[in-house]
Chains A and B, each alone.
Chain A
């Protein structure tokens, strides 16, 4: 009887710790989201340390193609959102084609949605290397594809990360999707 009580007490303690940890994680996500949103809003998100570095881009998308038999890599949910089971969320890619004010507005709306109701794990696709630090420091997966067409990048990101579709950050339109997946299954 005494043993059982000890077990119950230990279980209760563990549950308390888990609940507190989750509460801390959610508070941290709020803090990170506010910081990320502020960077986008005040225009410092993509500030570079060297003016001549702005626009630097790789010549090509340097990944091996048609790789079979390797496990897909994890795509993190990021530090701006919290979810009890992040791995249950689908993986989508968001392409940032141009750095326009409209894109920034759309990005803020997207990130707000992700923070409030995590709906997917996102891989950000950029054309320029100077956009990488911003997404990287908030814990997102980010891939710089240079000028490569999404028809080339899409299948590679599908193999590596399980990306089923790529949407444009500016207007949300699907620019590539995994054709092996029925259209009805696209979220």
Chain B
């Protein structure tokens, strides 16, 4: 079957199309999945109809008389072979003798029976050897379109829009319906098609969402930095994509449906086309998503048979606000691995552990890694001040991110008054995403810099929101006084919990909304006294552990091994 172009035409949501595409890919890389006869192109040599219904509906519409037709004769969901007998008889009566049509059965006994009964060559599409001993099993219910864990009935997930061939890379699939002969055939083909997969390239694609902050970007840049010789491309929906380009990576910048005010279904349709185009062109070993969920367009693209050699990995920050948890349970089913960067505050008050337990991991391999921060080379105080254009005296950095939080406004006036009283200069850092704001006129000086951690030595104290990156960089990389102004009402992560954890463990202050003046006074007094805070050094940067987890996932996925 070398040098042939196969087109598969199947019914929507037919579980057979994924395993069939994978099976054909072992003989030839040139396999496309069509939705209808119109997907036939001049270079198509073989058209595969995934069942007799597809053949009856579409075969007469397919142009190109030279393409060889292949029809899968499937036993249906009953043991009784009468339906497939009738279908074959009907197809033979309707067939055009000028077009070569090959019939295939997925069981050898069925192929023999049909050949004898109808006097036509029905070949056995042989499911190859299966090696169930080395991997855990999952139960497939082809009728209900679900897949479940044999030991945990609660872990049952819908199979709609999934690709069985992907799941069979890491699990042995078992059809749990005794009577469903077709389900057994589909599962057998999926299991057998996992070996001898074509290898993907030494390239991965990171996908970064549209967002107000830079946390996703910083984490992924940190992990990409540790991936060594692997080429890292980035598909970025954040406007600050130039920062990724500056780090030396190939960047594809796109705007989100929100930015374009576009219909989300239309937008997803275009994103699916482009992502599939990228995957088929570049054959990345993995798509790595750092986002609060796996957008449906990503899941649907990766479920496409043409993307079956690409693993899907989710970097998922924890400590979600409880009222936003429902958003997190999207997409885990499609993932081959989930990497969870630790939260320093997660060990506090059982607060985050409640949250983490609620999140769904599907059948993915979960890797917990140390907090991930962007590695930087810290500048000395004189060099950092010179680089930022700062003068002498006591200087406090104020970093409020891209959001102008109405909650902060009332506290900022208090902070400015207290800073003046203690003769401390306030310098605000503008987010790379933000334009001019009212803050520009409020603070004595404004700077723009990324990543900020390398300039920490320039400052005698820092006032900051408590996003993942800011929080962990300040706790692990900074020794001066810190006061957190957590964002409470917006965003997905629980900034208040992080800040409270830091305050209760004397790692930082948190502004007390009931007594903001006292909070600010106490904080600036620490700056005046050049106080340093003894904070725990990071046991390690989780970026290199995350990189190892990614490489491990790619290896096991490509080899079809379940660990």
Contacts and interface: CB of A to CB of B under 8 A. Distances in A.
A90 B245 CA distance: 33
Contacts of B243: 49-50, 53
Given A49-B243, A53-B245, A70-B269, A136 B259 contact: yes
A35 B436 contact: yes
B246 interface: yes
B246 A50 contact: yes
A56 B250 CA distance: 10
Given A50-B243, A62-B278, A130-B242, A74 B436 contact: no
Contact of B433 (A64, A70, A133, A144): A133
A59 interface: yes
B98 interface: no
B240 to A, nearest CB: 6
B124 interface: no
- Interface hub of B239, B250, B263 (most chain A Cβ within 10 A): B239
B94 interface: no
A68 B61 CA distance: 19
B437 to A, nearest CB: 9
Contact of A38 (B240, B430, B436): B436
B270 A73 contact: yes
Contacts, number: 108
B189 interface: no
B150 interface: no
Contact of A129 (B251, B262, B449): B251
Contacts of B239: 132-133, 136-137
B450 to A, nearest CB: 4
B433 A141 contact: no
Contacts of B262: 73-74
Contact of A134 (B244, B431, B435): B435
Nearest to B236: A129
B239 to A, nearest CB: 4
Contacts of A139: 259, 261
Interface residues of A, number: 39
A172 interface: no
A50 B269 contact: no
A141 B273 contact: no
Given A48-B432, A73-B266, A129 B241 contact: yes
A39 B430 CA distance: 14
B176 to A, nearest CB: 38
B435 A35 contact: yes
Nearest to A134: B435
A67 interface: yes
B260 interface: yes
B274 interface: yes
A10 B176 CA distance: 60
A71 interface: yes
Shortest Cβ-Cβ A-B pairs, 10 listed: A56-B245, A53-B246, A64-B277, A129-B242, A49-B432, A136-B239, A49-B450, A130-B242, A74-B262, A133-B239
13 contacts: A49-B240, A49-B430, A49-B448, A49-B450, A50-B449, A58-B253, A67-B270, A71-B266, A74-B260, A129-B253, A132-B242, A136-B255, A142-B255
Interface of B: 239-246, 250-253, 255, 259-263, 266-267, 269-270, 273-274, 276-278, 430-436, 448-450
Given A49-B431, A53-B242, A73-B266, 19 more contacts: A38-B436, A53-B246, A56-B242, A56-B244, A58-B245, A58-B251, A67-B273, A71-B266, A73-B263, A74-B266, A76-B260, A128-B242, A129-B241, A129-B242, A129-B245, A139-B261, A141-B255, A141-B259, A144-B241
